[in-house]
Structure 1
Amino acid sequence: MTLSPSQRNAKLSRFLATQAQRQMALQIGFLFGFFALFALLISNLLQNLSSEGVAVGFGFLTNVAGFDVNESLVPYSANDSYLDALIVGTLNTLHLALVCIVLSTTIGVFVGLLQLSDIQVFGTACRLYVEAMRNLPKLLILLAVYVFLVVELPVAREAVSIFDIAYISNRGLNLPSLQISTAAIQTSQTLVLSCAYVAVCCGVWWALKHRLIGALQKFVLPVWVVLVGLAVVSGILTLEVPTFAGFNFKGGTLVSLPFLALTIALSVYHGAQVAEVVRSGISSVAKGQIEAGRALGLSKGQVSWLIILPQAMRVMIPPLTNQYVNILKNTSIGLAVGYSDLVSVMNTSINQTFRPVELMLVSMSVYLLIGIAASMFLNAFNRRVQLKER
Structure 2
Amino acid sequence: MRLTMPERTQRYGRLLATRKARQNALQAVVLTALALLVWMLLSNLIENLSADGARIDFSFLLNESGFDVNETLIAYDAGSSYLSALLVGALNTVHLTLVGLVCSTAIGVLVGLLQLGDIKILRILCRLYVDSMRNLPKLLILLAVYVLLVLELPVAREAISFFDLAFLSNRGLNFPAVEIDYGLLTEPRTLLAAALFLLAFSLAWLAVRRLVQGIFLRRFLPILFLVAGLILTTGVVGFDIPEFAGFNFEGGSVVSIPFLSLAVALSVYHGAQVAEVVRSGILSVPKGQVEAGRALGLSPSQISWLIVLPLALRVMIPPLTNQYLNLLKNTSIGLAVGYSDLVSIMNTSINQTFRPVELMLVTMTVYLVIGIAASVALNVFNRRVQLRER
Confirm or deny a common fold (TM above 0.5): yes
Secondary structure of the 2:18 match is helix
The secondary structure found in structure 2 opposite 1:127 is helix
Q: Deviations over 1:6-27 (max 9, x none)?
A: xxxxxxxx99973222222222
SS in 2 for 1:123: helix
Cα distance in 1 for residues equivalent to 2:296 and 2:148: 52
Q: Tell which deviates more after alignment, 188-197 or 298-307.
A: 188-197
Return closer, same or farther for 1:79/1:27 CA change in 2, 3 Å cut-off: same
Alignment gaps of 5+ in structure 1: 1-13, 208-212
Contact 2:194 2:231 in 1 (8 A): no
Residue 351, structure 1, aligned to residue 335, structure 2: no
How many residues of Structure 1 are paired with residues of Structure 2 in the alignment? 369
- 1:364 lines up with 2:364 in the alignment: yes
1:268 is paired with a residue whose SS is helix
What amino acid is aligned across from residue 175 of structure 1 in structure 2? Answer: F
Which amino acid in 2 is paired with 1:245? A
**Secondary structure, counterpart of 1:96 in structure 2:** helix
Q: Offset of 1:33 from its aligned partner?
A: 1.7
- 1:303 to 1:153, Cα distance in 2 relative to 1, 3 A: same
Shift of 1:262: 0.3
Instruction: Describe how 1:84-233 pairs up with structure 2 within 5 A.
Output: 84-185=84-185, 187-190=187-190, 214=209, 229-233=229-233
Q: Which amino acid aligns with 2:326?
A: N
SS in 2 for 1:157: helix
Question: Which residue does the alignment assign to 2:281?
Answer: 281
Question: TM-score, normalised to structure 1's length?
Answer: 0.88
Distance 2:376 2:366 in 1: 15
Change (3 A) 1:171 1:311: same
Which residue of 2 is the match for residue 386 of structure 1?
A: 386
**TM-score normalised by L of structure 2:** 0.88
Amino acid at match of 2:376: M
The percentage of aligned residue pairs carrying the same residue is 62
Give yes or no for contact 2:16–2:22 (8 Å, CA) kept in 1.
no
Alignment partners' CA distance in 2, 1:36 and 1:230: 66
How far did 1:230 drift?
A: 3.8
Q: Extract unaligned runs of 5+ from structure 2.
A: 1-13
| Corresponding residue of 1:70 | 70
User: Deviating runs (4+, > 4 A) in structure 1?
Assistant: 14-17, 188-201, 215-219, 221-229
Moved more, 163-172 or 244-253: 244-253
In the TM superposition, residue 273 of structure 1 has moved relative to its aligned partner by: 0.3
Distance (Å, rounded) in 2 between the aligned partners of 1:226 and 1:90:
40
When the two chains are superposed, the root-mean-square deviation of aligned CA atoms in Å is: 2.8
Distance 2:226 2:104 in 1: 29
Amino acid at match of 1:67: F
Distance (Å, rounded) in 2 between the aligned partners of 1:298 and 1:125: 30
Pair 1:284–1:225, CA change in 2 (3 A): farther
Deviation string, structure 1 residues 40-81 (Cα, Å, up to 9, x no partner): 211111111111112210000000000000010111100000
The 1:225/1:334 distance shift into structure 2, 3 A limit, reads farther
AA partner of residue 350 (structure 1): I
